[in-house]
Amino acid sequence: MPEVTPDGRSPDAASGWCQVRRVLAGCAALAIAAMGAGPALADDPSAAPGTLPGIAQQRTGNGCLPAGGTPVTAVPWPQAYLRPDQAWPLAEGQGVTVAVLGSGADDTAGALGGRLTRAPRLPGGGGDPARDCVGHGTFLADLIAAARHDGTGFAGVAPAARLLAVGVTDDTGATNPALLAAGLRTAADAGARVICVGATVPQGSDELHDAVRYAVAKGALVVAPAGADSGQQPLAAAYPAGYPEVLAVRDLGPGGAPATNTSYAGGVDLAAPGDSVMSLGPGGTGYFTGSGASFAAAFTSGAAALVLSRTPDLTPTQLTHRLLTTAYPSAVPSLDLVAAVTDAAPTSTSPAPSPPLSALAMPTRPKPSPAPAQAVTVALAALAAALLTGLAALVVPRGRRQGWRPGS
């Protein structure tokens, strides 16, 4: 008997549609970049993520991270890539608690509203989760669940999810296996269905591994970065991502390309946006930027919350399987948020069409004056659209004859 997938298709047919979908998504990304990013980058080179203050897992120097003051009105590139707006008609994360293990969470910006709670301070050196001196935990929490607001294109992946902030670092962002273990148990006992571990340690311990097993047994998916956000190459193995029960995530750059000059010594299960990412920080309404696998873990955690909101009975193993089998195929599968959520929906239900996507998110700037580069941009956009339309016309009918179907 020929091998078939659980839904009755041949592996060739299933993988064939995934390849087509990835190519089509790439053409769409090219069109988006050409229509918006071209003029912004060519006419105003200062309007780039590098102009925002940075967020890191660990903070050096004295004092806490100063509040940011730069607004961002456009849609950040990870949202254009993941398209959570197409999943929101089906699920926004309601009914799901996501725990963020990190430096705490500050909601001065008000983006988390009444959905943010904080665990008691952990013994043994854990920081106050209500005082985020590093800013990293706040950044992750808003990537996961910031509410949508008029005047900005930024929103969390699961804007209706509840957040539990668990402080597992000191005021510099440093942690240890014992603190991570205590944080995992605290989050699991509080009923978190997804645990985003924002801090890492280079070596594990029996205590930490036992805590991971405990959280999974309590029904929580544990998501962790495959390496620290240190920038040192190659990145050493990181824990708890090094344990088989944990979903280990690495970062992608703008457009879905692998993050530049990044290699991981440990295993990697899934890839998600993490390079040149924008989010809110502590102390105000300004935006920050950061790069690293911890931010990819946050996007994956938000996607997991959406899936659980739609299909709450999934076990951690089943949820991991959903995220991996609906991902774009590659050496490291890339998160496909919409496919993960819509596969949980009835087959007759289609996601609502997304509004036109704007350029990659940049700090608010005056409109540039007309320039010859705009003509090139229009031409590139037309070319990308033509490629997209032509490829769909040629390939999709053939794929349907061979049994392919979207959403796999």
| 383 and 317 assigned to the same domain | no
pLDDT tens digits for range 242-273: 999 999 999 999 988 887 656 676 789 999 99
Residues 207 and 295 in one domain: yes
Count CB atoms within 10 A of the CB of residue 379. Answer: 11
Q: Could you tell me if residue 361 is inside a domain?
A: no
Of 293, 327, 342, the domain-final residue: 342
pLDDT of residue 199: 96
Give a yes or no: residue 247 inside a domain.
yes
Task: Give residue 213's pLDDT.
Answer: 99
Q: What is d(CA 91, CA 331) in angstroms, rounded to the nearest whole number? A: 29
Residues 378 and 263 in one domain: no
Is 378 found in the same domain as 270? no
Whether 2 is covered by a domain: the verdict is no
Mean per-residue pLDDT for 377-406? 45
Instruction: Tell me, yes or no, whether 348 lies in a domain.
Output: no
Structure tokens, 290: 């950061």
pLDDT of 30 higher than 80: no
170 shares its domain with 264: yes
Is the domain of 135 the same as that of 32?
Answer: no
- Asked if residue 282 is part of any domain, the answer here is yes
End-to-end Cα separation, the chain, in angstroms:
22
Q: Are residues 31 and 110 in the same domain?
A: no
**Domain termination site, one of 322, 342, 362:** 342
Query: In terms of domains, do 238 and 313 share one?
Result: yes
The count of domains in the chain is: 2
15, 108: one domain: no
**Predicted pLDDT of residue 134:** 94
Domain around 31: 11-45+371-401
Residue 199 sits in the same domain as residue 72: yes
Residue predicted with more confidence, 117 or 376: 117
Q: Is pLDDT of 378 > 50?
A: no
Q: What is the mean pLDDT of residues 216-226?
A: 98
Kindly state whether residues 157 and 270 are assigned to the same domain. Answer: yes
Which range (31-40, 45-54, 152-161, 216-225) has the least confidence?
31-40
- Percent of the chain at pLDDT > 70 equals 69
Kindly state whether residue 355 falls inside one of the protein's structural domains.
no
Residues 35 and 179 in one domain: no
- 215 or 43: which leads in pLDDT: 215
* C-alpha distances out from residue 162 to 132, 197, 220, Å: 18, 16, 14
**pLDDT score of 122 more than 70:** yes
Q: For residue range 280-316, what is the model confidence (pLDDT) as tens digits?
A: 999 999 999 999 999 999 999 999 999 999 999 999 9
Residues 90, 345: Cα–Cα separation, whole Å = 8
